[in-house]
Amino acid sequence: MKIVLAGAGAFGQKHLDAIRQIGGIEVVSLVGRELEKTRSVAQKYGIPHVTNDLAEALARPDVGAAILCTPTQMHSTQAIQCMRAGKHVQVEIPLADSWADAEAVARVQKSTGLVCMVGHTRRFNPSHQWIHQRVRRGELEIQQMDVQTYFFRRSNLNALGEARSWTDHLLWHHAAHTVDLFRHQTGGEITVCNAIEGPHHPQLEIAMDMSVQLGASTGAICTLSLSFNNDGPLGTFFRYICDNGTYIARYDDLYDGKDEKIDVSGVAVSMNGIELQDREFFAAIHEGREPNSSVQQVLPCYRTLGDLDRQLAARR
């Protein structure tokens, strides 16, 4: 399969590393805003074509799919562009930064029938898969999820410490991981959602601290704390309080309530959530099926984010 990857930054390179482990996939074009930096990344990964025009990349012969690791504000428009060009698409989280744009992508997916998958990586991390499998087997029932998403991002830098051309967002990006995962793991619909936010950054013009509460139809609750002001430790940490044990997920790794590591190596073929996410995208295309984390599956998450966004706007 020949694919296009758009976005040569920190997360785009994570996908390129993952694709190297999968085999049978050839990235034939790399799309980036700054051509010199994009050429440098393309040379590192042996990608023959570089452009700053997604349409040019999609028009290349034999291209069947695209992965979008571009700025959030471009995701919905570019996902629609890919599908209208007849290409399957995986768009990194978040699908959109508004409910209306998320709905628009879902409508195009339905009309084209193409695979459109969203990069909700937490569904694929072995740690969360271990919990998910036990819940589905009836061995665990989630009572509460307590989640901390903490970064120190008072200037506009990416994961490589490089300047960004766009602004990240606690609600539409980082909360999206937890809102979708809460629904996915409990197997229920979100029936209650509340949010409050701290002061907005004077230059970035976004909230730097936020708190979200969720309730599911199963009776489970979720408390999510997010911050761009936190000076360590950094990352996202999920505490599952269940009827039969407490578990703490730190990306791909899982620990019990006594902080003893749980072996999750047998959950999937890799311990890398990004690789597992990409494997699912390519497998869904080959098998002609809906992928886990399809746009239709994650759409309720964006409805909830839209509700939370309206709450926050009404309080400003």
In order along its 316 residues, the chain shows pLDDT tens digits of 999 999 999 999 999 999 999 999 999 999 999 999 999 999 999 999 999 999 999 999 899 999 999 999 999 999 999 999 999 999 999 999 999 999 999 999 999 999 999 999 999 999 999 999 999 999 999 999 999 999 998 877 666 667 666 678 999 999 999 999 999 999 999 999 999 999 999 988 899 999 999 999 999 999 999 999 999 999 999 999 999 999 999 999 999 999 999 999 999 999 999 999 999 999 999 999 999 999 999 999 999 999 999 999 999 8
Cβ within 8 Å of residue 238, ≥6 positions away? 122, 127, 128, 145, 146, 147, 178, 181, 248, 249, 250
pLDDT at 204: 85
Distances (CA, A) of 240 to 167, 216, 221, 275, 286: 30, 14, 10, 24, 34
Largest CA distance in the chain: 54
In the chain, the domains with their CATH numbers are 2-120+274-294 (3.40.50.720), 122-268+301-315 (3.30.360.10)
Cα–Cα dist 291/280, whole Å: 6
Q: Name the strands in the sheet holding 116-119, side by side, starting at the edge strand that comes first in the sequence.
A: 49-51, 26-31, 2-6, 63-68, 88-92, 116-119
Cα angle 227, 183, 298; round to 5 = 85
Dist. CA 170–CA 176, nearest whole Å = 9
Place of tokens 């590192």: 44
How far apart, in whole angstroms, are the C-alpha atoms of residue 227 and residue 211? 9
The whole-angstrom separation of Cα 236 and Cα 252 is 11
- Give the span between the Cα atoms of 129 and 136, in whole angstroms: 10
C-alpha span between 9 and 84 (Å, rounded): 25
Residue environment code for 55-85, b if the CB has 16+ CB neighbours within 10 A, otherwise e:
eebbeeeebebbbbbbbbbbbbbbbbbbbeb
CB under 8 Å to 3, separation ≥6 — which residues? 25, 26, 27, 28, 63, 64, 65, 66, 67
Which residues, listed in sequence order, are joined to residue 3 by a DSSP beta bridge? 27, 65
3-class DSSP state for residue 139? coil
d(C-alpha 233, C-alpha 235), whole Å: 7
